[in-house]
Structure 1
Amino acid sequence: MMIMIVFAVMTLLDPAFAQRQPDPINPTRESVNEPALLEHSPSIKGRITILDSKAALVEQPQGREWRRFHEGWMPWIGAAVPGAMILLLAVFFLIKGRIRTQPNELSGRKIARYNAFERFTHWMTATCFVILALSGLNYIFGKRLLMPIIGPEAFSALSQWSKYAHNFLAWPFIVGVLLMGAVWIGDNVPNRVDWAWLKAGGGLFTNSHPNAGRFNAGQKLVFWFAIIGGLVMAASGMTLLFPFTVTGVNGMQITQALHAIVGVLFITVMLAHIYIGTVGEEGAFEGMASGEVDLAWAEANHNLWLREQQGKEGTVSRTLKSEPAE
């Protein structure tokens, strides 16, 4: 009341006083716009008194790019890349068919190829990988493909259990990758024989059998991809499993994108590996199933390794195809 009286008296004594008063405050005009703020910082942050410092982040424009990638590009990548591999394998199978070992080429004798520990490591890692791959694909395609079919309640329960499986089975998968690296790294060192194998196309198009050690060049490529890709998946997965312990919001978004892309590439490469090890080539699955392969099959596909094994046993290396089956 007193302020109003003083203001009225000053206006009567000095009419120019009212004209010298500042204009009413316009919050919209006086505020700093978003582009001006983002010129100085990649994000807009405020001050908080609670312990969670992430709550101070008001706006992070990179989140829009991540959402565009996650909801736009990632489903297309996740469908197109493995889909192209499946189509390629299907065409190859229709043209080439299954690579078979003729009955007259078999010797009837066996040689140990993988011991029990190697087979256990392989199947433990492979089982975990399949579940991790399916649960990861559910993260990308579940709400688009499964939820309209099974309903939101069933999809919610499935996704919850998929999350548990993904988080817990990641650990034996990491252990398996490390064990495979330790057990097989010595047999997967590249050499000149591998280059010759690659130039010959692995004999797939000529019905020949290029020289190969315990693992041929194709198997070595799969091995190194599994080891390097597995370590990348492990590092990015643990970053996501323990959020904000290593990086901030933007770093988490980049890590999630990396984890998804490498995961899709991993699935694509393993599709080719599974094809060759099952329907693609006769006799390939036998070694990892029972641990033994036919001597003639070993001579045809891994002749240098077979001769090395024969040398360790004190036998004379020789071509077994000409030997009669026992």
Structure 2
Amino acid sequence: MSETTRPRTLPRYSASERSNHWVVAITFILLALSGLAFYHPAFFFLSDLLGGGYWARVLHPYIGVVFFVCFAVLALRLARHNAWEAKDAQWLKHFPDVLANREEHLPEVGRYNALQKALFYVLVLSAVGLLLSGIGLWRAWFSLPVGVVRAAALVHAACAFVAITSIIVHIYAAIWVKGSVRAMTRGDVTWGWAWRHHRAWFRQMVKGANE
């Protein structure tokens, strides 16, 4: 492929991956807001998003199932790209350079950097914890001893806190790194973005396009 005919963008996410991501995002927001409504009376007004307190309690666990299934599909599709490598530890050692936006000092990064991989693992563990503890709280379908229900409530709240905090970091990072949101809206990224932030992945993609 000649220089004049090369595309100046690279595909990052397929249409199905993007659709899956946005279903996960929307269901997570609904779960987070309705969960806050159950957590403290000051947030109970948020239950109106799902039709009020009764409907929020009915719908919350079903939305949770949709969230987990869609998240599991997305996680399985991206798992191979999030395998931890030796260079990821080296990347973390240069984290001050990341914060200072000195990416030229960093080891070359594949499709995901070390922080993105760590976030992936945290979200996977949080999602599993939310599912298992949520089952313990779903009294319409499961009847468990009171002690188990109480423990499940604590685990559910802890996993929810970790997941919400992680998602806030994820959103902030996507906005902070200019051009990242485009990947999940349009499906592609510019050559410049890929070269600057994921150089090893860029080389791999360009090499594949030339073969």
TM bucket by the smaller chain? 0.7 to 0.9
| TM-score (normalised: structure 1) | 0.57
Cα distance change on mapping 1:115 and 1:220 into 2, 3 Å: same
Distance (whole Å) between structure 2 residues aligned to residue 287 and residue 140 of structure 1? 34
Aligned sequence identity (%)? 26
Amino acid corresponding to residue 156 of structure 2 in structure 1: H
* Displacement after TM superposition at 1:219 (Å): 0.8
| Deviations 1:201-225 (CA, angstroms, capped at 9, x unpaired) | 1622252242210011111111111
Verify: 1:205 aligned to 2:100, yes or no: yes
Counterpart of 1:268 in structure 2 is 165
Distance (whole Å) between structure 1 residues aligned to residue 44 and residue 32 of structure 2? 16
Amino acid corresponding to residue 154 of structure 2 in structure 1: A
Distance (whole Å) between structure 2 residues aligned to residue 313 and residue 248 of structure 1? 58
Cα distance change on mapping 1:235 and 1:145 into 2, 3 Å: closer
| Deviations 1:27-51 (CA, angstroms, capped at 9, x unpaired) | xxxxxxxxxxxxxxxxxxxxxxxxx
* Displacement after TM superposition at 1:178 (Å): 1.1
* Displacement after TM superposition at 1:161 (Å): 2.8
CA RMSD of aligned residues (A): 2.4
Contact 2:136 2:148 in 1 (8 A): no
Verify: 1:249 aligned to 2:110, yes or no: no
Counterpart of 1:110 in structure 2 is 9
Cα distance change on mapping 1:206 and 1:293 into 2, 3 Å: closer
Distance (whole Å) between structure 2 residues aligned to residue 135 and residue 267 of structure 1? 13
Counterpart of 2:81 in structure 1 is 187
Cα distance change on mapping 1:304 and 1:229 into 2, 3 Å: same
Contact 2:68 2:127 in 1 (8 A): yes
Amino acid corresponding to residue 220 of structure 1 in structure 2: K
Distance (whole Å) between structure 2 residues aligned to residue 258 and residue 186 of structure 1? 28
Secondary structure (helix, strand or coil) at the match of 1:313 reads helix
Instruction: Map residues 220-299 of structure 1 onto 2, 5 A cutoff.
Output: 220-242=117-139, 245=142, 247-278=144-175, 280-299=176-195
Contact 1:110 1:295 in 2 (8 A): yes
Contact 2:18 2:184 in 1 (8 A): yes
Amino acid corresponding to residue 63 of structure 2 in structure 1: L
User: Which of the residues 27, 52, 58 maps onto 1:164?
Assistant: 58
Matched residue count: 201
Distance (whole Å) between structure 1 residues aligned to residue 36 and residue 142 of structure 2? 26
Counterpart of 1:139 in structure 2 is 38
Distance (whole Å) between structure 1 residues aligned to residue 93 and residue 143 of structure 2? 44
Distance (whole Å) between structure 2 residues aligned to residue 169 and residue 236 of structure 1? 15
Counterpart of 1:126 in structure 2 is 25
Amino acid corresponding to residue 111 of structure 1 in structure 2: L
Counterpart of 1:176 in structure 2 is 70
Contact 1:131 1:165 in 2 (8 A): no
Amino acid corresponding to residue 270 of structure 1 in structure 2: I
Cα distance change on mapping 1:257 and 1:244 into 2, 3 Å: farther
Distance (whole Å) between structure 1 residues aligned to residue 148 and residue 136 of structure 2? 10
Distance (whole Å) between structure 2 residues aligned to residue 283 and residue 165 of structure 1? 35
Distance (whole Å) between structure 1 residues aligned to residue 42 and residue 99 of structure 2? 39
